[in-house]
Amino acid sequence: MTELTREDRLLQTFASLADTLVDDYDVVDLLQMLVDTCSDLLDTTAAGILLADATGTLDVVASTSEAGRLVEMMQLSAEAGPCVESFVTGRVVSVPDIGESPEEWSLFRESALAQGFASVHAVPLRLRETTIGTLNLLRDTVGELDPQDQTAARAFADVATIGILHERSIRETALLAEQLQGALNSRIVIEQAKGVVAHTHGVPIDEAFALIRTYARSHRLGISQVAARIVDRSLTLDT
């Protein structure tokens, strides 16, 4: 059997990732698959993904090694380093020799070198002008990342961004559907309450709704709340 080339394996990986995005998936599992793939197929010793929360604080969500995670956490604690720089600027930040990194990155430099890393390549996870995190590739040799690997890394970062935003979209869509269904359910209860009030008070439907609305306003309650109590007979409107 012919051994698959690196390019074949990359194509297979992207096909697998595309299938994953179509099916129901866990975004953390997807990101872990991405960093594992970077470590396996690119000239990379370790890989990790940092994501920003609602306040803009970065945290590690996927990492191929505890050593890589330690370096990333050191960057976060120092609030300085190539991954943080990539997130803040929205640009790729490549450090071919960590030993020659800026003095303001000294905590990162010392931690990275102690863990055996010599170079790093940080790629932003971006949607237009918004950066939501970074893909970080750590290597145990000095030098720039191979151009083909740089292209693949950017593609992986894009897949990570799509996966995260797709998951958020699904969650938001589900919330919207839930809200819409809730509104529809409330409307059914309101219609039932109008019928109850119309019958018990001997008034037309329109007037029955006016009575419900007036009661809700005067008691600072939601119309749906008042309607539900009328339907379950825990509330009887005064005439």
pTM of the model: 0.65
Radius of gyration over every alpha carbon of the chain, rounded to an integer in angstroms: 28
Q: What 8-state DSSP symbol labels residue 195?
A: H
What angle do the packed helices 147-201 and 27-41 form, to 10 degrees?
Answer: 170
- Inter-axis angle of helices 6-22 and 147-201, nearest 10: 10
Total length of the chain: 239
For 62-102, the pLDDT digits (tens) are: 788 777 677 777 676 667 889 889 888 889 899 999 889 88
Domain boundaries for CATH 3.30.450.40 within the chain: 6-168
> Please, where in the chain does CATH 1.10.10.10 lie?
182-231
Tracing tokens 């390549």 back to the chain, one arrives at: 121
The domain made up of 182-231 has a fold known as: Arc Repressor Mutant, subunit A (1.10.10)
- According to the model, what pLDDT value does residue 96 have? 92
Antiparallel, parallel or unpaired: β 119-127 and 93-95: antiparallel
| φ and ψ at residue 94, rounded to 5 degrees | -115, 130
- Stretch among 9-13, 17-21, 83-87, 134-138 having the lowest mean pLDDT: 17-21
Query: Is the CATH number of domain 6-168 3.30.450.40?
Result: yes
